[in-house]
Amino acid sequence: MKKSRLVLVGVALAVLGLSLVWLNAGRAGSAQAAAAILASPVHGGCYIAGPSDCRLHVEPITINVTPGKKLVYFQLIATRAVGGAQRVIYDFRPDLSNPLPYSGSTVPVSMVAQDFAATCGVAYSISLQGRDTGDSAVYNLGSTGVFTCPAMVP
């Protein structure tokens, strides 16, 4: 009787141990992956281009993708500090038949435009969002602090 009780306890412990291993294995895949895409710092500001004409300016950026991966896209987003309204001010997609980078893992971005329309007297921040073929989601790659466009021509 004592021997059968020991066998029963041993089987119960084995089942419990296997159950815990099985439950823990299911959780291991739920960890969120780190971004495979990175970027240089995002620098920008606002200036007066003419009477009642303000422009957001963004300095050149560099995007680094994981070696062996390709850039899917990147966007520059202007966010108003008051109200939080967001607007895509630059949306870049590489050629599907010849994706970037051609070699290596660095994409030096030469934007067609670096200056974008803005409302004078309004506070903004600019963020860079992007994704490469190694990422399952879009990542915020960098952001400026909040800055205010000049309110009037000096």
Sign of CA dihedral 10, 14, 17, 23: negative
Are both 43 and 23 inside the same structural domain?
A: no
Domain contains 153: no
> What is this structure's pTM?
0.72
Cα separation of 73 and 132, whole Å? 7
Report in angstroms the alpha-carbon separations of 15 from 11, 33, 61, 100: 6, 32, 56, 52
Cα separation of 33 and 84, whole Å? 28
Tens of pLDDT, residues 50-108:
988 999 999 999 999 988 899 999 999 999 999 999 999 999 999 888 888 887 788 88
Cα separation of 75 and 88, whole Å? 7
Are both 85 and 141 inside the same structural domain?
A: yes
Domain contains 107: yes
Question: Which pLDDT score, from 0 to 100, does residue 101 have?
Answer: 85
Are both 56 and 8 inside the same structural domain?
A: no
Domain that holds residue 6: 1-31
Are both 58 and 6 inside the same structural domain?
A: no
Are both 25 and 46 inside the same structural domain?
A: no
Cα separation of 72 and 79, whole Å? 23
Question: Which pLDDT score, from 0 to 100, does residue 1 have?
Answer: 53
Give how many domains the chain has, as a whole number.
2
Are both 56 and 91 inside the same structural domain?
A: yes
